[in-house]
Structure formats: C-alpha cells, structure tokens
Structure 1
Amino acid sequence: MLLVIDVGNTNIVFGVYRGKELLYNWRITSDKDRTSDEYGLLFDQIFKFNGLRIQDVKDIIISSVVPPLMHTLPTMSRRYFNIEPIVVGPGIKTGIDIKYDNPKEVGADRIVNAISGYEKYGGPLIIVDSGTAITFDAVGIDGSYLGGVITPGIKISSEALFLRTAKLPKVEIAKPEKVIGKNTVNSIQSGLVYGYIGMIDYILEKMIREMDYKEKYVKVIATGGFSSLISNASKYIDIIDGLLTLEGLRIIYERNR
C-alpha cells in the first residue's frame, strides 16, 4: 500500500492507496507541537481501527506547507513505518512546467493540485482550494502551471472579526438562507459566506479573461475543507473534488518511484 500525506495549516489529510484505488482517507488536526512519536502512535491507532497494519505500507509520499512538520513526519515515517518517504519539493520529478518568477516559491500543495487537476480533467483549468488560505491556480491547455492568487481563508476572516471587534461574537461558519440577516449571527454568517462567494466568482472571472480562453473551455475545480460550503453557489465552479490533493500525491509518487 501507498500512504499519501498532505499537511496543511489546519488539517493533515492522508489516505492509503492500493494501486490506483484509494482505500481509506482521514483528516486530523495539524499540530506543530506534536512529536514524531505522537504522530506515529496516532497513525497506528487509526490504521488498527480500520483493520489495517502499518507494516502493509510499502511507500510514503508527503506534501507539506508547515515547515515544523517537514522534519516531524519524515522522522515518524522512518521510525514507525521503516520507510524513507518521498517529500514533495525541489528535486522531485513533477512533469509540470512552472511559469512562476521563482518556481521554488510555489507551495507544494498548489503544484500537487495542478498536476492532479490536469491529469483528471485536462486543461485549461483553474483550481480553487478553500482551506486556511484560499488559493486559485491556473493551468494551461498544455498542463503548465501559469500562476495564481492567494487570499485569507474564510476561517481566518471569521477569527479576525471576532478578535478585532469588541462586541461581535464568534459564529459557526454556515450559509444562512437569506443575505439580509435579521440578527447579528446571521449577519456575520451572510457576510462571510456570501462575501466569499462573490470574491471567488470575481477572481475567477478575471482569471479566465487573463488566461485568454473562451469561458466555456476553462474548467474550474474546487477542493479543500470549505469547498462544498462556498462552491455550490458559484457560477463558475464546475466540479467539487475533495480528494484532488491525495490523487496528485499518488501521481507524483508514480513519476518518482
């Protein structure tokens, strides 16, 4: 089996593949203070709960945007799985032409998503990843990475509103039935959810124009923890694919094994 691990700022999403089939996938909180031993025991418990054995894992690939965990999880892989993992970064064969001023600046998760999106859906396309940050990544008709946009995520905005105002409460991030709120909680929810829907659609509209393809030819794929909440109301997003990053890690593994 292949263990794929995507480390984000809020969550670690990981899964196991047998060949091209994703058998299981899980989501846990990213904790920079956890040790490699704590992560090893946690993975072992999750595997056992699902009737799996860590000894059945033959390879591991890791993508991370959290620098402290770039040491912790590879150490965990060596100690508990007895495997030297592939870590997505410089020197890894991706098969993608990165048209960025400095390709090393592009987050590993964005490259993984671009590879997966192009492999699954073809190009041109835009990938909207709604997580701690919301990233928009443009991929050309030839599969090249063209660049993108980074904005604060909806959870960051919600927390900032709570922390920087004296009287506004912390609210559940949920989509209210109407835009015009009749109470403070609904008003905040409306501003967050509908505000982000509007922002996403405006950015997508501008990106499609700059990519210089006919609008109907550009596929827009949404992924990430908040993709369903925001993307269902977008007029541009075609597909919600919550497992896009895991599939991209499997593809990169195949290109490097």
Structure 2
Amino acid sequence: MKLCVDIGNTFVKAAVFEKADQIDDVRFRPDNFELFATFIKKHEPLQSAIISTVRGVPAELIHLLGIVPKVILLEHTTPLPIVINYDTPETLGRDRIAAVAAAYARFPQQNVLVIDMGTCITYDLLTSDGVYQGGMISPGVYMRFKAMNEFTNRLPLVEPELNVSLIGKSTSGSLQSGVMHGIRSEINGIIGSFSINYKDLTVLIGGGDNKYFDQKFNCSIFAASNLVLEGLNVILDFNDLQ
C-alpha cells in the first residue's frame, strides 16, 4: 500500500491507497504525531510514500517514514503526469500541483477548473492538452472573517454557518452574509469568466470549506473531499513507473 501526506497551513492530512482506491485517511494538527504513528502502524507495511508540504517536513514525520522503502518529497522538479506552464514553478504550491494532477486523472483531455477551498481559495486551470496554465489565489472563509475583525476596532470575529441569509439583520449576520454570499458570487463569477474562454469547462471543487457551499453554485460541479491526497497518489503512481 501507499501513503500520501498533505501538510497544510492548519492540518496534516494523510491517506493510504491501494492502487487508485483510498483505503483510509486521517487528519490531525501538526503537534499530534502520535495519532499519525498509530495510523501508519495500522497499515504497515507501506511500499512508498509522497509528501506535499507548505511548512517543511517535521522531524517526527521523517522518523516515522524511515521504515518506508521509497519516499518522495513533492517539489517543482518532481516528474509529473502534467506539464507546468508557470513563470515561477518553484513558488507554485505543491497542493495546487497535486489537485491539478487529480483533475488530470479524473478528466483526461478536458478543460478543468480546479477550485480548492482551504486557508486560501485557489483556482487552477488545466487545459485539455494536459497543461497546467496557472490560476488565482483568493482569501479563504476564515481569513476573511479574521481580517475584518483584526483590521477594525469594533467588528466581532464570527464563525461561518450554513444557509446564511442574504440580508444581515445584525452586525454578525451582515459579516456572515458578506463573506459567505461574497465567496459564492466570486466563485460563480470566476467560473463564468473561465467558461467564456475555455469550451466545455469541467469544474472540480475540493477543500474543507466546500461543505459551506454545497449545491450553491450556478453550474454543475464535481466535488472531491480529498482532492490533494488523490492527486498525490496519481503523482506517486506516475513516479513508480519512471
């Protein structure tokens, strides 16, 4: 079996795959590697692993993966099943690369807009010829709430909710509406803009905050709960064939 690890800004997520099938997954904060150790032990032996990280690789993780015969740290130089058309590939988020690799495997020879709703909202375009063309980065849900609280004197810090009213009847309600409906309108608008230029556009959306927006967009969207992990598995399989 294979292990895929995504070290994000807030959580570490990992999954075990058998070929293309996800067998199990776990999510934990970066200071709780005991949970990860239990997860690895549960699925031994592991043949290979791949890591995507935005913060470096913790020593605890290096120690735990010492028993795995083959470990890949995803870099901009890692062989990929897609072509990267980006001016600064060394700065391109590894999670974005992985998400697009997942889109490539799911929708070969199609134009795909990949939206990942994490700490930031990323929009990444994969064209039908298998080329990653670049994209956009926008503030995520919690970042918007936190920014309005921190950059003003009197606006409270509120939490996201489901089914927020369009018209806020309180300051908290107005903040909720501004963020949640603002993001929905942003995503619908960006999908519309890309659809003008890219025929038969497929939209694939993932990330933890997608749960707040399920079924709230103006077009058909494919959802994926573990998009980055799925893409890491695609990249790992590609490298196993090299």
The amino acid across from 2:46 in the alignment is V
2:153 is aligned to 166
Over 3 Å counting, the alpha-carbon distance change for 1:86 and 1:116 in structure 2 is same
1:156 is aligned to 143
The CA distance in 1 between the partners of 2:203 and 2:147, in whole Å, is 29
State the SS of the aligned residue for 2:84: coil
State the SS of the aligned residue for 2:194: helix
The CA distance in 2 between the partners of 1:231 and 1:72, in whole Å, is 37
Pairing 1:13–2:13 present = yes
| Structure with higher RCO (Cα < 8 A, 6+ apart) | 2
- Name stretches of at least 5 consecutive residues in structure 1 with no aligned partner: none
> What's the CA shift for 1:181?
1.5
Deviations 1:47-82 (A, max 9, x none): 56xxx25x322221101122xx33536523444x35
State the SS of the aligned residue for 1:126: strand
The amino acid across from 1:239 in the alignment is F
What is the count of residue pairs matched by the alignment? 239
Shifted more, 147-156 versus 19-28: the winner is 19-28
1:88 is aligned to 74
Q: Which one of the candidate residues 31, 53, 60 is aligned to 1:64?
A: 53
Q: 2:3 touches 2:16 (CA, 8 Å); kept in 1?
A: yes
> What's the CA shift for 1:166?
2.1
State the SS of the aligned residue for 1:6: strand
The sequence identity of aligned pairs, in percent, is 29
State the SS of the aligned residue for 1:202: helix
- Name stretches of at least 5 consecutive residues in structure 2 with no aligned partner: none
The CA distance in 2 between the partners of 1:57 and 1:201, in whole Å, is 41
2:106 is aligned to 120
RMSD: 2.0
The amino acid across from 1:103 in the alignment is P
Shifted more, 10-19 versus 220-229: the winner is 10-19
> What's the CA shift for 1:28?
1.5
Q: Which one of the candidate residues 36, 44, 56 is aligned to 1:43?
A: 36
Pairing 1:101–2:87 present = yes
The CA distance in 1 between the partners of 2:163 and 2:177, in whole Å, is 6
Q: 1:2 touches 1:18 (CA, 8 Å); kept in 2?
A: yes
Q: 1:77 touches 1:84 (CA, 8 Å); kept in 2?
A: no
> What's the CA shift for 1:25?
1.1
The TM-score, its normalising length taken from structure 2, stands at: 0.90
1:228-247 superposed matches below 5 A: 228-236=211-219, 238-247=221-230
Q: Which one of the candidate residues 199, 204, 208 is aligned to 1:221?
A: 204
State the SS of the aligned residue for 2:12: strand
The amino acid across from 1:221 in the alignment is L
The CA distance in 1 between the partners of 2:53 and 2:122, in whole Å, is 15
> What's the CA shift for 1:43?
1.1
1:146 is aligned to 133
> What's the CA shift for 1:251?
1.0
Deviations 1:110-162 (A, max 9, x none): 11111111211231010000000110000101111011001111111111112
State the SS of the aligned residue for 1:204: helix
> What's the CA shift for 1:18?
2.1
Q: Which one of the candidate residues 126, 130, 138 is aligned to 2:117?
A: 130
Deviations 1:225-244 (A, max 9, x none): 11121352111351111122
> What's the CA shift for 1:83?
4.5
